[in-house]
C-alpha cells in the first residue's frame, strides 16, 4: 500500500470496525481502499472542487 493510502486505510479500519476485524478482512479491504484513492484523486482534480 502506498504511503498516501495508509492514513485512509487506518482511518476506515479504525472507525468502521474498531477491533472487530480480522487480518484476512483487512487484507480484503486493501484493494477497495486503493480504488477509493483513485476515485478521490479524480474527484479532487475536477475544476472548482474546493468551492
Q: 45, 34, 25: which is closest to 3 by C-alpha?
A: 34
Q: What is the mean pLDDT of residues 7-21?
A: 87
Question: What range does the domain containing 19 cover?
Answer: 6-44
SS3 state at 46: coil
The verdict on residue 13 lying in a domain is yes
The verdict on residue 23 lying in a domain is yes
Q: Is the pTM of this model over 0.75?
A: no
**Taking 90 as the threshold, does the pLDDT of residue 24 lie above it?**
yes
**Taking 90 as the threshold, does the pLDDT of residue 5 lie above it?**
no
Tally of domains within the chain? 1
Q: What torsion, rounded to 10 degrees, do the Cα atoms 50, 44, 10, 30 define? A: 160
pLDDT for 31: 93
The verdict on residue 49 lying in a domain is no
Amino acid at each position: 500500500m502506498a504511503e498516501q493510502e495508509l492514513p485512509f486505510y487506518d482511518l476506515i479500519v479504525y472507525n468502521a470496525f474498531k477491533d472487530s476485524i480480522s487480518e484476512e478482512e483487512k487484507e480484503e479491504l486493501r484493494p477497495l481502499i486503493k480504488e477509493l484513492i483513485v476515485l478521490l484523486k479524480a474527484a479532487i482534480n475536477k475544476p472548482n472542487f474546493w468551492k
